[in-house]
Amino acid sequence: MIKFTKMEGLGNDYVYVDCTEKSNEEIDYISKCAYKISNRHFGVGSDGLILICKSDVADFKMQMYNKDGSQAQMCGNGIRCVGKYVYDKGLTNKKSITVETLAGIKKLDFDIKDNKVESVTVNMEKPILKADLIPCVADTIVKNDVNEISHVRLHVLDRNFDFTCVSMGNPHAIAVVDDVDNFDVEKYGKIIECDEHFSQKTNVEFIEILNKSTIKMRVWERGAGETLACGTGASASVVACILNELVNGNKEIKVKLLGGDLLIKWDKDVYMTGPAKIVFEGEYYD
């Protein structure tokens, strides 16, 4: 039996398990249940499984698995929920914490109301822009005094795409489309995710520029399919838009997702602010 909490950040939903007092053997067993727990017909139903563990280098460690059972480096919406979980459940009384992830140690700041976390700001750290570190095989690389922009140009089925590639600890390929609401994300996303340009596969973001301070985004997540929101994807998309001078680089940018809005600011590091909610709790029997 596994006690769990179902949480969501803008509809990006995960099953959370407190593993801070569990043995390595118990943690290993629970991680192997990710595929079954995430199944929306025979399990709890989620975009994946997140284990909250002890850390030797941070306040907590986030161990994350996609709904196909594969391990993921980082999830912006997921880590906000980790912050709410540990504060609301009394595992910490700090209003700022650090969380160890496979994409490095992330700093979280809480907005507290009525002794509960209402929103979380995550320091997503600096974006990774070098093609071999993203990783991707770039068709063109545009360099300036500060950054380099890696482009992957693909012909997929019946249309051409120009992707700007960015890593936020996990790889993202971002392309601008005219009408994202009516765009067939699954049709193209599942092919692009596995394209040979991306040795570790990639998350795929399709964005529409609404104005200089607002973009609309839909995402095909690596190992998960289309989800209602993606925090690292929103962060990577804003970075790509700033690099390509599509939005105002010195302001906070609103990213409109299917599950709601995130606020992203790139000032050396990337900062992401958004909500996190507890949906329900229960016990899973394998």
d(CA 186, CA 235): 21
Give the mean pLDDT of 52-80: 95
Q: What percent of the chain has pLDDT over 70?
A: 100
d(CA 197, CA 107): 32
In this structure, are strands 140-143 and 116-125 parallel, antiparallel, or unpaired?
Answer: unpaired
Measured in whole angstroms, how far is the alpha carbon of residue 11 from the centre of its chain?
12
Measured in whole angstroms, how far is the alpha carbon of residue 18 from the centre of its chain?
20
Give the mean pLDDT of 229-257: 95
Could you give the C-alpha distances from 60 to 50, 101, 193, 220, in angstroms and in order? 12, 9, 30, 28
**Cα three-residue angle 126-131-137, rounded to 5 degrees:** 150
> What per-residue confidence (pLDDT) applies to 146?
84
pLDDT digits (tens, 9 = 90+) for 91-121: 999 999 999 999 999 999 999 999 999 999 9
Are residues 193 and 202 in contact, defined by beta-carbon separation less than 8 angstroms? Answer: yes
Mark out the alpha helices in the chain (DSSP H runs). Answer: 24-31, 34-38, 76-88, 185-193, 231-243
Domains of the chain and CATH, by start: 2-123+274-284 (3.10.310.10), 140-267 (3.10.310.10)
d(CA 28, CA 191): 32
pTM over 0.85: yes
- Adjacent-strand bridge partners of 17: 51
Look at the block and give the residue holding tokens 């301070």: 213
Look at the block and give the residue holding tokens 């995430």: 38
Tokens of 183: 């765009």
The pLDDT-based confidence of 144 (bands split at 50, 70, 90) is confident
Please give the mean pLDDT across all residues of the chain.
96
Q: Has residue 15 got a pLDDT over 90?
A: yes
d(CA 184, CA 230): 18
Which is nearest to 9 in space by CA: 216, 232, 242? Answer: 232
pLDDT digits (tens, 9 = 90+) for 184-241: 999 999 999 999 999 999 999 999 999 999 999 999 999 889 989 899 999 999 999 9
> What per-residue confidence (pLDDT) applies to 223?
84
Could you give the C-alpha distances from 151 to 8, 21, 143, 172, 208, in angstroms and in order? 32, 45, 11, 11, 18
Q: Residues with catalytic annotation? A: 75, 230
Alpha-carbon torsion, ordered 252, 47, 174, 265, to 10 deg: 10
d(CA 88, CA 239): 32
> What per-residue confidence (pLDDT) applies to 18?
98
Output the DSSP codes for 151-179: EEEEEETTEEEEEEEEESSSEEEEEE-S-
The pLDDT-based confidence of 44 (bands split at 50, 70, 90) is very high
The pLDDT-based confidence of 245 (bands split at 50, 70, 90) is very high
> What per-residue confidence (pLDDT) applies to 218?
98
Give the mean pLDDT of 42-60: 97
